[in-house]
Amino acid sequence: EVQLVESGGGLVQAGGSLRLSCAASGFSSADYAIGWFRQAPGKEREGVSCLNINDGSAYYADSVKGRFTISSDNAKSTVYLEMNSLKPEDTAVYYCAAPGPCTHDVWGMDYWGKGTLFTVSS
């Protein structure tokens, strides 16, 4: 059974940084992808970034390019989302999801974590 558990949410000031973690379990190989998605109050869920675990290729939404970095520690089966230069509009519940595909234009996910909330104060 695939399980995804996010952690690292909280409150941060605009311009600050935060790192989210997604602990993944239940995969029998490294042939999967982890995606980060977010849903702000009153808005639809949107993709933020995704990472293919087997080859390390990553993709980002235009709104976070240059500010967010996705990475993985495969030994810990954990994917991180390092977020810098945070803006109030980054406030949302952040979800990690799997298993892919994760390509330039398709981020297909079937498994979802419960999400973690973080708020960026202005």
The per-residue pLDDT for range 64-121, each reduced to its tens digit, is 999 999 999 988 899 999 999 999 999 999 999 999 999 988 899 999 999 999 899 9
Compute the Cα dihedral for 60, 65, 66, 67 and give only its sign.
negative
Between strands 10-13 and 116-121, the pairing is: parallel
**In the chain, pLDDT over 70 holds for what percent of residues?**
100
Between strands 46-52 and 33-39, the pairing is: antiparallel
- The reported pLDDT for the residue numbered 74 is 85
- The reported pLDDT for the residue numbered 46 is 96
The backbone region for 37, taken as left when phi is positive above 0, alpha when psi lies in -120 to 50, beta otherwise, is beta
- The reported pLDDT for the residue numbered 76 is 86
pLDDT category at 2 given cuts 50, 70, 90 is very high
Query: What number of other Cβ atoms are within 10 A of residue 115's Cβ?
Result: 17
